[in-house]
Amino acid sequence: MRFLIVGLGSIGRRHLRNLRALGETDILLYRTHRATLPDDDLEGLPVYTDLAEALAEKPQGVIIANPTAAHLSTALPAARAGANLLIEKPVSHTLEGLEQLREALSQNNCRAIVGFHFRYHPVLGEIRSLLAEGSLGWALSGRAHWGEYLPGWHPWEDYRVSYAARADLGGGVTNTLSHPFDYLRWMLGEIVSVSAELSKLSDLELDVEDNTEALLEFANGARVAVHLDYYQQPPSHTLELTCERGRILWDNADGSACVLFADGQANRQIIPPKGFERNDMFLAEMADFIRLCRGGHFEYCSLEDGIRVQQIVAAVRQSHAQKGLRVSLA
């Protein structure tokens, strides 16, 4: 089976390593030579600088790993060429063009998976099952917090030129750290309204927001606050959920969660499998994509899920523009 990787920054290289780790060898590369990483791991692979020429080689799967604002300009031709897609999150920086992508995939009998890899976190999966099983009752409220210092993400490059820091490349903390919008929806159900405020608080040299404060309301009545930032040192990514009969505390630092029961049951610790590391989520995602390309079932995360997250991001921005007024999601 043939794969084409579009974009060779850090995430494109990760997908290349994981394809190889899963036994795939027929891999093509499309690049614009703007990546700042060395090319040692690309040796021996066919490299194209013309997308049409690369797609003429008929890859069954195309991995869209270029900057967010360029996703649709490469995903659409790939879908029209009959390829299945793995699109890095977020699916785009705008809602424009997403209907055309949906139509192109349908017309060519292709499918897409969107790279919200936290759905593959084993402990978040257990939390989702625990909530569904009902021993804690309904989730009533919560808080997702993700703060991370942008200049520390890619020490090999000037953060100011990265896609995350630039509006023209689809950056901003709301888009770049949009994972909680997806995994909260996956755990708690549909998000029906949003209120939010976006800010530029730090002295980082950015032309995008570095702080997002959003309040999500779910169809079941739960309300969860989401904090995202580009300036926190040291970083942290945590989730707290308060339910009718207890609480759940998750920390991405070690991947574990603590479940506190209100009825006197002993607290429960949920820990990842021995040896679990961050790349295991990306490996599981890639295995899903390979299965999809072979015509099989895939677990997560569909194009429709990716589009829904982009609708939530758009509602966050609309609420900010309206001074924090609550915006309903149809």
Domains along the chain with CATH numbers:
3-117+285-301 (3.40.50.720), 120-276+308-328 (3.30.360.10)
Rounded (5°) CA angle 255-301-246 = 45
pLDDT in tens, 49-93: 999 999 999 999 999 999 999 999 999 999 999 999 999 999 999
pLDDT for 38 equals 64
Share of the chain above pLDDT 70, in %: 98
Find the mean pLDDT for residues 193-222: 98
Average pLDDT over residues 289-309: 95
At 156 the pLDDT is: 87
pTM of the model: 0.96
Mean of the per-residue pLDDT values for the chain? Answer: 96
User: pLDDT digits over 132-181, tens only?
Assistant: 999 999 999 999 999 999 999 998 889 999 999 999 999 999 999 999 99
pLDDT over 90, % of the chain: 92
Judging by beta carbons within 10 Å of its beta carbon (0-12, 13-18, 19+), is residue 104 exposed, middle or buried? buried
Instruction: Give the per-residue pLDDT at 36.
Output: 54
Say yes or no to pLDDT of 262 above 70: yes
Answer yes or no: is pLDDT of 41 > 80.
Answer: no
Which phi and psi (to 5°) does residue 319 adopt? -60, -45
Give 189's pLDDT tier (boundaries 50, 70, 90): very high
- Whether residue 101 has pLDDT greater than 80: yes
Write down the pLDDT at residue 330: 75
Q: DSSP assignment, residue 302?
A: B
35 token code pair: 């990546």
What mean pLDDT do residues 280-292 have? 97
> Is pLDDT at 37 greater than 60 in this prediction?
no
Give the three-class secondary structure for 143: strand
Residue 24 DSSP SS3 = coil
**Hunting for tokens 């969660």 — which residue is that?**
257
pLDDT at 35: 58
